[in-house]
Amino acid sequence: MTRAFPRSTILTLALVVASACAPQRPATSAMPAASPTVRAAGEDRFVDSLLAKMTLEEKVGQLNQLSGLAATGPGGNVAGVEMLRRGEIGSLFNVVGADTIAKIQRVAVEQSRMHIPIVFGLDVIHGYRTTFPVPLGEAASWDPDLARQTAHVAAAEASAAGLHWTFAPMVDIARDARWGRIVEGAGEDPYLGAAFADARVRGFQGASLADHASIAATAKHFAAYGAAEAGRDYNVADVSERTLREVYLPPFHAAVCAGTASLMSSFNEVAGIPAHANPLLTTQILRHEWGFDGMVVSDWTGIGELLNHGIGADTADIAAAAINAGVDMDMVSESYRHALPALVRSGRVSQATLDEAVRRVLRMKYRLGLFRDPYHGATAQGEASAMVTPASRAIARQSARESIVLLKNDGNVLPLRKDLKTVAVIGSLAEDAGAALGNWTGQGHWEDAISVLAGIKAALPNANVVFSRGASVTADTGGIADAVAAAKRADAVIVVVGETPDMSAEASSRATIDVPGAQMKLVRAVRAATSAPTVVVLMNGRPLAMQELNDISPAIVESWFLGVEHGNAVADVLFGDYDPSGKLPVTFPRVTGQVPIYYAHKNTGRPSNDNDKYVSRYLDVSYTPLYVFGHGLSYTTFTIGAPQLSAQTMGASDTLHVRVSVTNSGRVAGTEVVQLYLRDDVSSVTRPVRELRGFRRVTLAPGESRVVDFALDARDLAFYDASMRRVVEPGTFTVFAGNSSAATQSARFTFTSGNGQPVPVAAGCPVVR
């Protein structure tokens, strides 16, 4: 996907079209006013009536999406007024503002022959104006309901600005931290990923797409984009069908079950077939198996790039391959606009195939209510009042707090006292409010963001807060001496290190994921200079390989890029106003050479350990990660009991309850995330050592206890066997309960089928509890 434009570079298309906007007919003439119920009942009839009146070129125009201002990638074309009048554009993106969009929309609905409205999209990834934590950071909250709320706020702001459609959520599973786009998803686990996919789709779309606070969601990138070889963006993803279905597809299926209006194809190939020309993905699985009736959009020039993949000799070849595979809308490349009319006339693409693609586009516009109100209720006055409200900032602060992970706290360095006289805040990222927003910032303004430095100063109004840049994220070491001097005279030291946002983004893969630049030299110097309590705060969009940083730092806080309330949330945690509750949604390696690394690995015939030679291990570093999936500390302690089973056996129609007691055994109130993992002990194909099957956030006062009840049924036990049938095989299963994927408390039960044969399990919607 392309980047949204910074507001400083937007050249409004409204300037081009304003002189062409004299009204010629009512803006809503394409469809009479009707109640939502009537509209829903008449959807197919209405859409088919439009299709019957459209010319071939007008139909193709509905499949053409352009960046409405300027190109942000190769091959981009700028939309023109005459194209709108001729009905050659179905969608525009990178256009913002209620007035600007209304002026453009007026041309489409008043001056084109069919009066069909344009659907306007933008990459609203983790906020529109109110910027929330980057998706990987928000996944560390393990709070899908909060993610639903942040997506809803983003949708309301975007809709108020005239937009109808976001190219989010990204639901790619990513297990290689070198890949820059790991920042956009929910991490390495399909169960957690499915939960966040469900929540974000429901948040963006609300109760109805036609609601003025809703926008259409796009689950992307379909599929296995996160499996790019070597973590290099756009690279090949060579995964088996079993891995595809069990690891990479569940979040997409969850998004479909949540009602996502659209999906976006991915840049990569899967098993030799590029995703933009892959009928197994886009037709067989998505539409036939899952029953998806929405729209599939290409990624930026994704159809045109099929030429580079080498599966076609010319534009006609690749356009035919893409539309026959089930890709409905062509983003930017205009391959459809240039080739489809002749392809349909020649019979290489059937009229029925074209009509079905157009039908899907029109169906989404219908469901958004655009034929009734092409402007989706957006006005300049409403836009002005909708942005960065006190309510949205409150949600942003809570989301940021919950996303922070306390990685290490030796000697209870944290929380820091508020009566400190002098606090040194060191590191260039500490004062960088723009960095707090992360990447894919929508229309976020750095002026709205609270930096770490500003947050600390606000939390300690009576302290002397001394700032030193120290060393930069690149190679600048000129400020290290000043940082050391500041540390020596401070009662506590906070060192902020990590990445800049453009290091964790599209086209931002890193061959080494160490703490970049001269920042480790800075940390070493500061640690050697003072015995004062020292905390390292990380700002980053991926797991970092930081064995040395971990070894020399008594306290480490993972803060990701938290959005507009970054600094306030960090200060809340550092000084004890909020007890950290975040858990890692992705494994942190010790060194880059361990990646890809993830908890749900296979055992192999020579299981790993650090003592024997002829086992799966390294010569120069432990095979174990630095921090496991699900890890995260608190300022209190929790005691989690062994799982208690409602029965020792279960059958195909049974529900097994797993009850886990959790007690706050510390001295302050806190929130624990109780996690449940499952292992199939013996099976006909190899299975992961354990898989996440449930989690609950539990808030407890000191001394308080609670019993968490997890329900398991056959869907939780099922896998694809050697014949690619989804089954549960009779035998024993082990459940593990704890506060990370390293949980050791366990219990075992037996699944029985009556006749000793595997039990088929329908491939229904993923379990999202």
The residues that are catalytic are 299
Distance of CA 362 to the CA centre of its chain: 27
Query: Cα-flanking dihedrals φ and ψ of residue 548, to 5°?
Result: -65, -45
Q: SS3 for 731?
A: strand
Q: Which of 103, 91, 593 is nearest to 295 (CA)?
A: 91
Kind of pairing between the strands at 656-664 and 644-645: antiparallel
The per-residue b/e assignment along 199-223, b for 16 or more CB within 10 angstroms, e otherwise, is bbbbbbbbeebbbbbbbbbbbbbbb
| Vertex 694 angle, CA 693 and 697, to 5° | 160
The answer to whether 268 touches 224, Cβ cutoff 8 Å, is: yes
Which tokens is 152 given?
A: 């809803």
CA distance 81 to 264: 27
Which residues fall within 8 angstroms of residue 111, CB to CB, at 6 or more apart?
A: 20, 24, 84, 85
CB-neighbour burial class of residue 82 (10 A; exposed 0-12, middle 13-18, buried 19+): exposed
CA distance 674 to 672: 6
Distance of CA 99 to the CA centre of its chain: 30
Q: Beginning with the edge strand found earlier in the chain, give each strand of the sheet holding 649-650 in spatial order.
A: 649-650, 745-751, 731-738, 670-680, 691-700
Distance of CA 8 to the CA centre of its chain: 26
Count Cα neighbours of 459 within 13 Å in the Cβ-side half-sphere.
27
Kind of pairing between the strands at 719-720 and 555-558: unpaired
- Ordered DSSP codes for 180-221: GGGGGS--S-HHHHHHHHHHHHHHHH-S-TTSTT--B-EEEE
